[in-house]
A = this chain, B = another copy of it.
Amino acid sequence: MTTIRDVAKHAGVSVTAASYALNNTGTIGEATRKRVLEAAEELNYHPNAFARNLKKRKTHTIGVFISRFGGSFYEEILEGIHSLILDTDYELLVCPESRSARRILLHRQVDGAIVFDSKISDEQVLKLASRHFPIVVMDRDLQSDFILPLLLDNPQGVREAFWHLHQQGFRKLSFVAGAMDSFDNAERMATFLAEAERHNLHVPVYQGNFTEISGYEIARAILQSDDLPEAVFCANDQMAIGFLRAMREHGLQAPNHIAVIGFDDIPLARYMQPSISTIGTPRFEWGTTAVRQLIDFIENETPFQPQRIPTRFLPRESSILNVHSQTSTGETILGPASSDPS
């Protein structure tokens, strides 16, 4: 590995001069600057990032911490994050759950973090965040000047969905819940149950974990009984897909036998047969917003602006009665889009 020392020697100049020339800092003559750059080129020199970061105490890197790559969910968020990063001179580092996540976070190998991994504890995040290490959290609500919670507006979408069901006359409702430690699941469930409560409806809750298979198994259990719900709300699309699969295997169809609604609007949702009613989230923009605010904070100490990411109910075939001739991607709007019609 060739070092800056080699470059300096080759250009017949001091190490300092070489450093200034390479970084365009300090004060250096045009002639020598050229000479140094040529030497660097010739020797195929690339600065050692560790030495540099060690000295500068800045990495110019944003770290994104997610739990896993699968599930079609993070994909668009990551794309949004990536697209905005491309416009900056920051680097991006994505780290799935593991020892490494902890390490990288703790070691401050990044200048700021975006956290979307429930395996990282609240205490961890709170302890880490500081003026010099701002953190955006997308899956929890924490109070701190150095932490920006960017959360989905779950209540909005859930209320629209509830209203959609209620307006069509569905009264026997069930809720299929996702992972218990999930903020989003909690909020979706709380909202749905609260709405039901307001209409004096009792809603049984089935505990799943956001996976397709958990939705499938819950459905199997439910379908055993002869007292079927009229509609189920699943806390995410994966479970809705599993639920529908079980229904199909039992010879039942949505929405005729049971109406089904999911959450997230993953790509599959609109292509399934029947297409799945769900709640859409602007994930791409979610990602860009996170990066924008984070970099703004790092560069200019612009205070964080907490905001909710809007959600929107998308009625599709799986929950619309007597409308079987739609296109599979149709977005027919039945009710008003406002949140709380009562």
Contact = CB atoms under 8 A, between A and B. Distances in A.
A267 B71 CA distance: 10
A84 to B, nearest CB: 11
Contacts of A91: 95, 98-100, 103-104
A70 interface: yes
Given A50-B54, A54-B51, A268-B267, A78 B69 contact: yes
A91 B94 CA distance: 11
Interface residues of A, number: 47
A78 B49 CA distance: 25
Contact of A72 (B68, B72, B104): B72
A69 B82 contact: yes
Contacts of A127: 44
Contacts of A48: 54, 107-108
A333 interface: no
A268 B108 CA distance: 39
B98 A86 contact: yes
Given A49-B107, A54-B51, A68 B79 contact: yes
A53 interface: yes
Chain A to chain B: the 3 pairs with minimum beta-carbon distance, closest first:
A91-B100, A49-B107, A69-B78
